[in-house]
Amino acid sequence: MYLSTRGNIDAQTSAQAIALGMVPQGGLFVPQEIPCVDWKQYANCSYAELAMQIMKLYCGDLPAGTLEEAVKVYGDGRFDTSNPAPLVEVGGCGMLELWHGPTAAFKDMALQMLPYLLTASIKELGLDVEVLILTATSGDTGKAALDGFKDVPGTRIVVFYPDGGVSAVQERQMVTTGGGNTFVVAVNGNFDECQTAVKKIFSSEELRQKLDANHMVFSSANSINWGRLLPQIVYYFWAYLEAVRLGRTAAEEKINIVVPTGNFGNILAAYYAKRMGLPLGKLICASNKNNVLTDFFTAGTYESNRPFYLTSSPSMDILISSNFERFLFEVSGRDAGKTSSWFQRLSSEGKFSVDPDTLTACRENMIAGWTDEEGVFETIKKVYEEDNYLLDPHTAVAMKVYNDYRENSGDKTFTVLTSTASPFKFAQSVLTVIAGDRYRECGPWEALTGLSALTGWDIPSGLQGLREKPAQEVYRCQPEGITAYLERKFLKD
């Protein structure tokens, strides 16, 4: 069963939690109990078998056949490697490559599976409705969600992205998805404004009634949906199993995890894996110049009223990290009253401060650090020159924060970095860094081929021929115009 972080809804089944996406009155679903497991029982599992074993612990009300069908995505050719999440050694640490899926980003690890979970949840609840999936994206979630739900019967998906706030490749990926049920909206604002507008829509009783009259329900493909977050727990178990198999750590020895994150879902999945009994040591939260999370761990105040920066790692250009609510709920002793108060203040005042005990618990569970653009570019160049390995800007954030931590702490524990995107998704930035200013003026498509020619790395298949693919119409609006767009597009009078 699943609870609300704000204590404002009765316990729900996994099918209800996944179908709803988020708590209608505000708040996020968390499992009532976090299962404790012995990781060694999964030692001989394939990735698909591991996903099956972990996920069935949280989805007991869904038919077993649903999960059996869902985990096939990891072995049916959608990923360009037989191991969908290979662990490779780079500079003395492990790089967990999570970008071998069809959209070349880590979101594929969950969003190729979510359609199975969502449609099964709707069926399990006996609902004869169409699901309208609303998804705000800072870059990668949008394409991965569109690709996962493209032409899935009984669903329509709308992705909202900040106009000018994603890379040219990310934008082109979204608008060339195709499918009769996919819609893309460019919002004149940043990601936080997109995300806040979508959350308000979810909590609108008036809109919910209009949907009901049209035999539709809202759901989400963002990591606010537990069905999106759950598959991400799996790859931290996989990372540990791979580290043991490769002899990089002994069984039961702890490993550290570093995650570049903006919306906090990816590192929250590592936190839940640790709570389940996986031998993880330090969890290191890495931010770019939009370092609201680092400031929180320093002072205990979360403040979104601050300058917003467009960086070379746009998927992390976020000031309101949705999944941080789940984390604070957990470390505060599952105090729904405190959690509700904090996030209501964030909504009304733009900031909140936690009590000393909660801050202490946060610091016991996680470390945070950040780097500026200069640090990102220096790291990309250094790793390529020393290790002949390409980092995208997001993964470079993680590497720089990890290097700083290792230097300052002297901690020599084997550490795994989650590599969240192919460097080719940000080819212009990466090529300019490693090859110099002569490539600064080249366009995004020339940069793709140039980076491949220079390094010998293959362009991911999902990024090939993007410029020539037909693009769908993109609707443009202000954040406050999103509701009107949805009513006009999908709801009858």
- The catalytic residue positions are 107
The answer to whether 220 and 158 are in contact (CB under 8 A) is no
In this structure, are strands 2-4 and 29-31 parallel, antiparallel, or unpaired?
A: antiparallel
Q: Tokens representing 201? A: 């829509």
Q: What are phi and psi of 166, to 5 degrees?
A: -125, 165
In this structure, are strands 93-97 and 87-90 parallel, antiparallel, or unpaired?
A: antiparallel
User: Which helix (DSSP H) or strand (DSSP E) does residue 162 occupy?
Assistant: strand 155-162
The alpha carbon of 486 is separated from its chain's Cα centroid by a whole number of angstroms, namely 24
The answer to whether 66 and 117 are in contact (CB under 8 A) is yes
Spatial separation of the C-alpha atoms in residues 102 and 107, rounded to whole Å = 10
Residue 4's CB: how many other CB atoms inside 10 A? Answer: 24
Question: Which amino acid belongs to residue 164?
Answer: G
Residues 6+ apart with CB under 8 A from 8: 23, 25, 26, 27, 336, 340
Q: Tokens representing 50? A: 């591991």
Task: DSSP letter for 479, please.
Answer: G
